[in-house]
Chain A
Amino acid sequence: MTIIEKIIQHHTEDEVSPGRIVWMDLDIRSARDFGGPNVVKNYEREYAGLPLADKTKTFFTFDLCAPACTLRYADNQQACRDFALKQGVEVFDVDRGIGTHVLMEEGLAQPDSTVVGTDSHMNILGAVGCFGQGMGDVDITFAFRSGRTWFEVPETVKVVLKGAYKKPTAAKDLTLFLLKELGTKKIALRAAEFYGPAVAGLTLAGRLTLASMITEMAGIIGFIPEGFEAAKQELAGLTKPSRGLSSSVSADEGAAYAEIIELDVQGLPPQVAAPFSPTNVKPVSELRGTKIHSGFIGSCTNGRFEDFSEAARILKSRKVKKGVMLKVVPATRRVYEELLSRGILEDLFRSGAIIHNPGCGGCAEGHVGLTGKGEVQISTGNRNFAGKQGKGETYLASPAVVAASCVLGQIASPEDI
């Protein structure tokens, strides 16, 4: 069996094979401040007076508009808090950061577990060998009450990467390259397993970057089995000691793949996705010199300590160019704390960056500012669809490329500095 088939099989009594619809147990069910209030409303309408399947497996994570920037969000968050208090459910509130990252840091997203939530990037948890899946509020309401859901077992594609790349090329560049090569068709509605030295050596942060953008490839989830033990150690270092990490994640010998795709990443240069699609990817050299007005470093894709420290290596003792606005948003409070204690936040601040509290701001339209008509932004986020962050144009790149571009006021490679 492939990895996704094994995880699903561990959570169902139904027969698992691609194309079959199974009823699957869900280890963790969560809802954000987006979707969450709809879940509460659904629950109170459909299941008034009935208990949750298991309150200890149910969570709220507020990350979209944190703290609330509109009255509607304030009302919505409070409605979730009231429901959570009544039901005895834990809330990772507006101080905590991006829900998927918080669930991971809390040890709730374990290898070989199933986790759902109202976040289309829930499959980022594939980075830790967990079957995370984003779902709408109807699904999540049902999951709160029953602890289960139906799921069509996807086919799996094996993606084998040959060759290696060197800094300043980073996991984000590899991910953007894969977006260009795989587009929204090659792994659409399928799971992917990535193999080869270029991914085997990825750190936890790098794995999160790649796994987070499977959604933009229209895939179900992506796994990186090679080098997983080291990433698991990193994860264990983040999580509370009380929650062990026992399971491993690997495909069986002879697992059946729908397709095997080989790609060469030898000497890959930094990549940038131009507006208005994450798949509209070019080497940075083709876009070098494009004038920018703003930059953003953060999001579930590039919001870990390592991402900011890469940016700070370039920004330390340099200045963000006059007229350019750089917004910095750590993924979680824990990341923020580490950046603070190791002096990275100060380096970023002194370079001229605006430091915001943790959350999804800057990538989703939220309280960290929008782009205006004619504004050109370079971002470490995962989406640059028209209108996603405002009326401006967004280019997607790695933290190092964003930092270099903000110093020069135009799209640039870190080597240009």
Chain B
Amino acid sequence: MEKTSCRGRIWVLQDRAGRLIEDIDTDQIFHNAFLHITEISEMGQHALGNLEGWKDFAAKARPGDILVAGRNFGAGSSRQQAVDCFIALKTGAVLAPSFSSIYFRNAVNSGFPVLRCGVLEEMAGQRRLESGDEIEVDVRAGQGLNLSKKVRFEVEPMSAVQWDIFQAGNLFAFGRALNRRS
């Protein structure tokens, strides 16, 4: 069955002034002191472990939780661990106005939903998106709904490649499906 939506409690990554934190880099998401880790199950505990104000995320995160961040999320290194640490925690998705190119690819290839959304800053500023709210996002139609506040918002739908890989599970499964077709 097609999985078309993500639903969960949100964490809005804001600074003290209430602005979404921009340029969150991979050292803040998964610090380079732990790059030697190759087991995904060991990675979750380090998620956001170097992001000031959010270092308790891994301890408090619940499966399905959704992150809301500022533009250029995942700047910096090519480390897959910065995606895998969220997969380890069963995080549902990350929403941001934009992502770094490598981070976005890594997430797409792992079948982890990363969704571009241009109205997040405005919504967070108007408290129409607040940490703890429950949201649901239809990744195919590009529709978001804040269930706690009964507010709808638009999200950029997944591209064909992102959708195909997401449905297959990851790039490896997608590649096998391609080979069977050809």
Contact = CB atoms under 8 A, between A and B. Distances in A.
A188 B109 contact: no
Q: How many residues of B sit at the interface, in one of the four size bands?
A: 35 or more
Contacts of A34: 35, 79
B77 A365 contact: no
Nearest to B75: A218
A130 interface: no
A56 interface: no
B38 A38 contact: yes
B100 interface: yes
Interface stretch (B58-66, B138-146, B169-177): B169-177
B175 A386 contact: no
A383 B25 CA distance: 11
A383 B22 CA distance: 16
B102 A135 contact: yes
Contact of B101 (A142, A185, A220, A364): A220
A218 B100 CA distance: 6
Interface string B72-98: 100111111101000000000000001
Contacts of B159: 21, 152
B102 A383 contact: no
Contacts of B81: 38
Contact of B79 (A136, A185, A218, A365): A136
Interface string A123-157: 00000000001111111011001100010100000
Contacts of A135: 78, 102, 105-106
A133 B106 CA distance: 13
A35 B52 contact: no
A270 B3 CA distance: 54
Contact of B38 (A37, A138, A189): A37
B170 A184 contact: no
Interface stretch (B10-18, B26-34, B127-135): B26-34
Contact of B110 (A138, A188, A388): A138
A283 interface: no
A120 interface: yes
A134 B81 CA distance: 14
B43 to A, nearest CB: 11
Contacts of A145: 175
A127 B22 CA distance: 29
A37 B38 CA distance: 7
Contacts of B27: 385-388
10 contacts: A35-B78, A76-B38, A136-B80, A136-B106, A138-B106, A184-B22, A184-B72, A215-B76, A364-B32, A385-B76
Interface of B: 22-23, 25, 27-28, 31-33, 35-38, 50, 52, 71-72, 75-81, 83, 98, 100-102, 105-106, 109-110, 159-161, 170-172, 175
Interface of A: 21, 34-35, 37-38, 41-42, 46, 64, 70, 72-73, 76, 118-120, 122, 133-139, 141-142, 145-146, 150, 152, 184-185, 188-189, 215, 218, 220, 277, 364-365, 383, 385-388
